[in-house]
Structure 1
Amino acid sequence: MNKLVSKLRFFSSSSSSSLIPRCSHIPKPIYNPFYNLLPQTQNPNKIVDVICSTLNHRDHLVLLPNLRGEVETLIPHLGYPEISRVLLRFQSDASRALVFFKWVKFDLGKRPNVGNYCLLLHILASSKKFPLAMQYLCELIDLTSKEDAEVGEEDVFSVLVSATDECNWDPVVFDMLVKGYLKLGLVEEGFRVFRKVIVSGFRVSVVTCNHLLNGLLKLELLDNCWQVYNVMCRVGIHPNTHTFNILTNVFCNDSDFQEVDEFLEKMEEEGFEPDLVTYNTLVSSYCRRGKLKDAFYLYKIMYRRRVVPDLVTYTSLIKGLCKDRRVREAHQTFHRMVDRGIKPDCISYNTLIYAYCKEGMMQESKKLLHEMLGNSLVPDRFTCKIIVEGYVREGRLHAAVNFVVELRRLRVKIPFEVCNFVIESLCREGKPFAAKHLLERLNEEEGHEAKPETYNTLIESLSRCDAIEEALLLKGKLKKQNHVLDVKTFRALIGCLCRIGMNSEAESLMAEMLDSEVKPDSFICGALVNGYCKELDFDKAESLLSFFAMEFRIVDTESYNLLVKAIGDTGSGYNKVLELQERMQKLGFVPNSLSCKYLIRVLEQPSLPNHLPED
């Protein structure tokens, strides 16, 4: 209880915020008697009078095109103080004040300063033009919050206070100031301004306080939430039900649940009965933290207090039980919900289906899906995905494919990402023809066009199964669609071609890869070298090794060892191997332990005599 009281204790600000010095908006006139002899439109002392006269005697809708020409010579003398003086002259006519402000800003291209903005805000607010006031307030906050602003954001409040001595004003403008920061997502700045507003004796509405509490909660600034609530209590801003429901969320994120009773008592002391939102928030938080016993205790309390649990309450309980792997109990709670007349939605079904899939109970998952369909609920992307993934996880690929076919028969639209997952799973399991058949059916019947990544996966799988003709056909289809194959796909195709003895075709494919600006790797080098070694074409294998080393800096010792071994296995003699080693060393190949082993094996082979011995 002490901990709760400490959170709810009143707090006072350390000191009132310092305000910037109040500066007069009335400039000193230019003391030069000769100016009085000039026409009014050329007299710098008369610029405010000229503009005000024009605004008063003309339709302000035609002011903008004409005013600039009339005061052209005086515009250099129109500074921030003069702008403020004109605005003050029209503080009882917000429309003309706004027209003048826009003329300065847009026609003259002169950005008003903070003082000019604050005067306009007071004029608009006192004239009850609140939407316009909020628009210009947000514009001012945005300008002063930027790094290149001449005045920091904290000065807006001070200048707004200073301007109250010079014009008509409505205290609501300070409530709007806090709301403006929150509207722009500047929650922490809004909190600082909120404290300044309160310390200076102005009021903030409970609606604005609720917005501030919500913003602080989203940022997980929980201590600041309690500070806002304490300020509300201290200055007499009466919280409403929405306030306490936000504080319930704060409480659930911040407190020990042993204090929940004290919190609810505090709420009742303030004259508010916990409502459905309050209980749902608490039940959901209990379930998230694994405190299911306490969650069900609150569930029972709801009935005693005549607060009827709804779909949100039951879904939270079901999620909590599923998370605790108590799926059967979750299903019982689901049935209890249905028996009490609450219709389940897709989320409640998906929660149970997901839990059954995690437990490998796929039959129960399918039954729930059919139950959904019977209740006129269309399975969504998540429903299809979790069941398909469940089958795949259990190693039942055939069942996953049948499930997809069954859904299509039931006219359930299956997201292509789910089908794509099945296709890729079939490819990984070495069943590319089944994957290809499924892909073709989807293309024909539903118009699904696979992504290049899916085709690449399928090509790789076909290549691993040595189905080179089908793989090359798919490659050609991708090429027609102007899709570039990735290095993994080229690797699979070249590896397959070399494995089945089609080395020249593999080399041609590598040339195509280079034309596509896809760089080869050591695997491709090894596949080609190994392929030509099998054909005993050692010169070709060596030229490829040299090509990869010189063109791509690929010095693949493993491929070099393949060539050494192949030459040695033919019994060609150690001279040929030593000559090869010398040429390769010049390209950067350094023999390793396996290279030495192959060399020693060659040296140990019996040499053939160069001539017959004499009798």
Structure 2
Amino acid sequence: MRLFDMMKESGCEPDQWTYSELISGLCKGGKLESAISLFTEMVEHGISPNQWSYTAMIDGYCKEGKMDIALSLLARMEEIGCLPSTQTFNALISGLSKANRLSEAEKLCAKMSEQQLLPNTITYTSLIDGLCRNGGTSLAFKIFHEMEKYGCLPNLHTYTTLIYGLCQNGNADDAEKLLEEMERKGLTPDTVTFTSLIDGFVMLGRLDHAFVLFQRMITMGCKPNYRTFNVLLKGLQKECQLLIEKVAIQNESAYGCSSEERITVLESTCTLLSRLSENGCELTVDMYTTLVSGLCREGRSFEAFRLVEDMKERGLSPNMEIYCSLLFSYCKNLDMDPALKTLDLMSSQGFSPPLSIYKALICALCTVERVEEAQKLFQSLLEKQQNGDLIVWMVLVDGLLQEGKTDLCMKFLHLMESMNCSLSSHSYLLLARELSKVVKPLEEEQISKQLVDLKGHMLK
């Protein structure tokens, strides 16, 4: 977008292709509001949207669940004689199917045929997905067989969607047969396929078979994600809880258990790792990384730390991603002592913390009013990192100013000046602009004077 603005400033007017390309990119990147502004600007400049730009906007609205607006755009296309493409219909059918507006999706399929546009694998898979999500697995299979008759070959997503639907209906055995069928046809199951199937057997209480599938997944080189582990964890928690309740009923005093006890996340995670190891599955750094990162995203930094200790006991060394996950989690929870210890440990292991880690630590330290420590950390960052522009953008603009800490931002800027850090004019203007957005009226004149003074000392 910066290049687009520069293009307009230089007097080079964007054409239909330029607008359409940018609108498409913004919609794909999930920036619908920016795409809407650009689409409106395009029309105001007398440039007619084409099939490409309309389809991009329709897809953007569909992904946001704004189906009525998307359908109104289709109607507008048809009014002005801009014919929709297969991609236009696919976006709408997918959106309607996800919104459980299946009858409308089916009508659009029929409309496609009327306009001599043949439904393709994406069209059929979108319908199948909508049906499977809403309990219509039988009808989904009917469409599945119909698409094969018309020469539309099911892809990985088609099979995965059907496997998910069968598992959600308690038909995990049939889902596994479908997995074998897709493999016979040369399609390789991915993480989502296996996770859906594992979940199906866990829901049936067949945890042993779920672990067999997990082992098969690893053997095939398919990397599990946090949801895969979470599915197995829930199965283990349920199994352990049933065991506790059974023991409690048989003998309330046995092992000191009562039916009110619950298995903790940490206990079930450790049980999961032991179970995997017993089943001959080699525990790897990647597995621990997935688990630690997932626990940290859920704010469970204590459990994540204990898991890191467990991996060390097994002779595995934490990687950069594990340390970063822990640090971000500690900072989010404002748990600063373990955060700073982790930073020291990370550095002692030869890892260079990224700038985003320093930003998180400095902002969190300022939030808990440990400003002196934040200042020392900022100073050490300046000593290590020569790119003052990047520091200004990441730590001051995207960090402190985002949290409204203008006084601390200026304090750190003066520290940069004292250490002879230089800035580009672009970074200076960016900082001045962002400061003007958050500064209080009473402070505006004072900060403006400081910025003018700094400009003379810091600009390259």
User: Normalized against structure 1, the TM-score is what?
Assistant: 0.40
1:344 aligns with 189
State the secondary structure of the residue aligned to 2:188: coil
Q: Which amino acid aligns with 1:415?
A: Y
Question: In structure 1, what residue type is equivalent to 2:275?
Answer: F
1:233 deviates by 1.7
Structure 2 match to 1:447: 317
- Flag the 1:421–1:337 CA change in 2: closer, same or farther, 3 A: closer
Q: In structure 2, which of residues 238, 243, 253 is the aligned counterpart of residue 393 of structure 1? A: 238
- Could you say which residue in structure 2 is the equivalent of 1:234? 79
Q: Deviations over 1:95-114 (max 9, x none)?
A: xxxxxxxxxxxxxxxxxxxx
Shift of 1:404: 4.5
Name the structure 2 match of 1:415.
288
Once residues 69 and 118 of structure 2 are traced to their aligned partners in structure 1, the CA distance between those partners, rounded to angstroms, is 25
State the one-letter code of the partner of 1:400: L
1:162-561 matches, cutoff 5 A:
173=15, 176=18, 185=31, 186-190=34-38, 192-193=40-41, 202-253=47-98, 256-395=101-240, 400=272, 402-406=274-278, 410-413=282-285, 414-415=287-288, 418=291, 439=309, 442-443=312-313, 445-448=315-318, 481=341
Moved more, 392-401 or 262-271: 392-401
**Which amino acid in the other structure matches residue 306 of structure 1?**
G
Structure 2 unmatched ranges of 5 or more: 244-267, 296-304, 327-336, 344-369, 371-460
Contact 2:23 2:53 in 1 (8 A): no
Percentage identity across paired residues of the two chains: 18
For structure 1, the 5+ residue unaligned runs are: 1-130, 141-159, 161-168, 423-434, 455-476, 484-516, 518-615
Q: Measure how far apart 1:357 and its partner are.
A: 2.0
CA contact (8 A) 1:175 1:203 kept: no
1:266: how far off?
A: 1.2
Partners of 2:43 and 2:158 in 1: how far apart? 37
Structure label with greater radius of gyration: 1
Letter in 1 for 2:317: G
Match of 1:492 in 2: none
CA drift of 1:278 comes to 0.8
Moved more, 338-347 or 409-418: 409-418
Cα distance in 1, alignment partners of residues 68 and 307 from structure 2:
60
Letter in 1 for 2:142: Y
1:139 and 1:356, CA in 2 relative to 1: closer, same or farther beyond 3 A?
Answer: farther
Displacement of 1:225 after TM fit?
A: 1.5
Q: In the superposition, relative to structure 1, how do residues 178 and 448 fare at CA in structure 2: closer, same or farther (>3 Å)?
A: closer
Shift of 1:182: 6.8
Q: Which runs of 4+ in 1 moved over 6 A?
A: 137-140, 419-422, 435-438, 477-480
Please show how residues 5-44 of structure 1 align to structure 2 within 5 Å.
none
Q: Which AA in structure 2 matches 1:339?
A: R
For 2:186 and 2:176, the matched residues in 1 are separated by 16
Change (3 A) 1:137 1:254: farther
- Contact 1:188 1:216 (8 Å CA) reproduced: no
Q: Distance in 2 between matches of 1:193 and 1:138?
A: 12
Task: Kindly report which structure 2 residues correspond to 1:88-127, keeping only aligned pairs within 5 A, or say none.
Answer: none
Q: Distance in 1 between matches of 2:68 and 2:228?
A: 40
- Asked if the contact 1:392/1:400 (under 8 Å) is kept, the reply is no
Alignment RMSD (CA, Å): 4.5
Do the aligned partners of residues 136 and 271 (structure 1) sit closer, same or farther apart at CA in structure 2, a change above 3 Å counting? farther
C-alpha contact 2:167 2:197 (8 A) present in aligned 1: yes
Assess, with a 3 A threshold, how the Cα gap between structure 1 residues 182 and 325 changes in structure 2: closer, same or farther.
same
Distance 2:308 2:99 in 1: 51
Residues 90 and 122 in structure 2, CA contact (< 8 A), matched pair in contact too: yes
Superimposed CA distance per residue, residues 409-450 of structure 1 (whole angstroms, 9 cap, x where no aligned partner): 62544315748999xxxxxxxxxxxx9899466346113499
Distance 2:95 2:170 in 1: 28
Q: Using the TM superposition, give the Cα deviation of residue 403 of structure 1 relative to its aligned residue in structure 2, in angstroms.
A: 1.6
Q: By how many angstroms is 1:351 displaced? A: 0.9
Number of aligned pairs? 291
* Residue identity matched to 1:446: L
TM-score by length of 2: 0.52
Partner AA of 2:53 in structure 1: T
CA deviation profile, 1:164-189 (whole Å, cap 9, x unmatched): xxxxx98x736755765676632444
Matching residue's letter, 2:217: M
**Aligned partner of residue 445 in structure 1, secondary structure:** coil
C-alpha deviations, 1:497-517, integer Å up to 9, x for none? xxxxxxxxxxxxxxxxxxxx9
> 1:378: Cα distance to partner?
3.9
Q: Give the Cα separation in 2 of the matches to 1:440 and 1:242.
A: 50
Secondary structure of 1:338's partner?
A: helix
Deviations 1:137-173 (A, max 9, x none): 6779xxxxxxxxxxxxxxxxxxx9xxxxxxxx98x73
The SS at the match of 1:239 is: coil
2:274 alignment partner AA: N
Mapped to 1, the partners of 2:82 and 2:97 lie a distance apart of 23
Partner residue in 2 for 1:567 = none
Contact 1:283 1:295 in 2 (8 A): yes
Measured after TM superposition, the shift of residue 295 of structure 1 is 0.9
Show the counterpart of 2:263.
none
**Equivalent residues of 2:135, 2:165 under 8 A apart:** yes
| Secondary structure of the corresponding residue to residue 237 of structure 1 | coil
Of 248-257 and 204-213, more deviation after overlay is shown by 248-257
Whole-angstrom CA distance in 1 between matches of 2:225 and 2:119: 34
CA-CA distance at 1:261 after TM superposition: 4.5
Q: Which residue of 2 is the match for residue 134 of structure 1?
A: 4
What is the identity, as a one-letter code, of the residue corresponding to 2:282?
Answer: L
